[in-house]
């Protein structure tokens, strides 16, 4: 079941990247002065958005045919949970992003640190969604081999 396996791999890559951001990148960026913190967050967010957004969409596009070919709703559910990162980002995280984007780096003060810390807590939702997608897709693939 190649599409299902690809969906699982993409979900795992998404989740691994999100987890890395949460446990390594985010704590490190919070140690630097606010102007540099804001510049670093912007650069990392732009790159991360392109990578993680693509992984979520392509993962869904692999999960959908896996569902179609097998009739296993787990593939569809896992794909939807993975791609749910898009609306989660747009609805929940984007207001914080907009506030951060509106601040000039040289005018960055304590508010930037508070917003970036909040962004990190909200980003944990991406880790949770990705992790749930991995578990659902993995369980679905295992259930194919057992059946």
pLDDT category of residue 146 using cuts at 50, 70 and 90: confident
The pLDDT value given to residue 64: 98
Output the DSSP codes for 37-95.
HHHHHHHHHHHHHHHHHHHHHHHHHHHHHHHHHH--HHHHHHHHHHHTHHHHIIIIIHH
User: 112 is in which domain, residue-wise?
Assistant: 2-146
Stated pTM of the model:
0.94
Angle at 140 between CA 75 and CA 60, to 5 degrees: 25
Q: How many domains does the chain have?
A: 1
- Predicted confidence band at 145 (pLDDT cuts at 50, 70, 90)? confident
pLDDT, mean over the chain: 96
Q: What is the pLDDT of residues 51-95, one digit of tens each?
A: 999 999 999 999 999 999 999 999 999 999 999 999 999 999 999
Q: Is 108 helix (H, G, I), strand (E, B) or coil?
A: coil
Q: Where residue 147 falls among pLDDT bands split at 50, 70, 90? A: low
Per-residue pLDDT at 1:
79
Q: What is the pLDDT of residues 30-50, one digit of tens each?
A: 999 999 999 999 999 998 889
Q: What is the mean pLDDT of residues 119-142?
A: 98
């Amino acid at each position: 079941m190649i599409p299902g396996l690809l969906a699982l791999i993409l979900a795992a890559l998404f989740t691994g990247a999100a987890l890395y951001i949460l446990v390594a990148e985010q704590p490190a960026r919070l140690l630097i002065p606010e102007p540099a913190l804001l510049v670093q967050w912007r650069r990392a967010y732009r790159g991360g958005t392109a990578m993680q957004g693509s992984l979520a969409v392509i993962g869904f596009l692999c999960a959908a045919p896996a569902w179609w070919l097998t009739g296993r709703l787990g593939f569809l559910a896992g794909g939807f949970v993975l791609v749910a990162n898009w609306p989660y980002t747009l609805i929940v995280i984007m207001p914080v992003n907009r506030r951060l984007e509106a601040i000039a780096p040289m005018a960055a003060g304590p508010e930037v640190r508070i917003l970036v810390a909040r962004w990190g807590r909200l980003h944990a939702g991406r880790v949770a969604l990705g992790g749930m997608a991995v578990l659902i897709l993995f369980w679905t693939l295992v259930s194919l081999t057992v059946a």
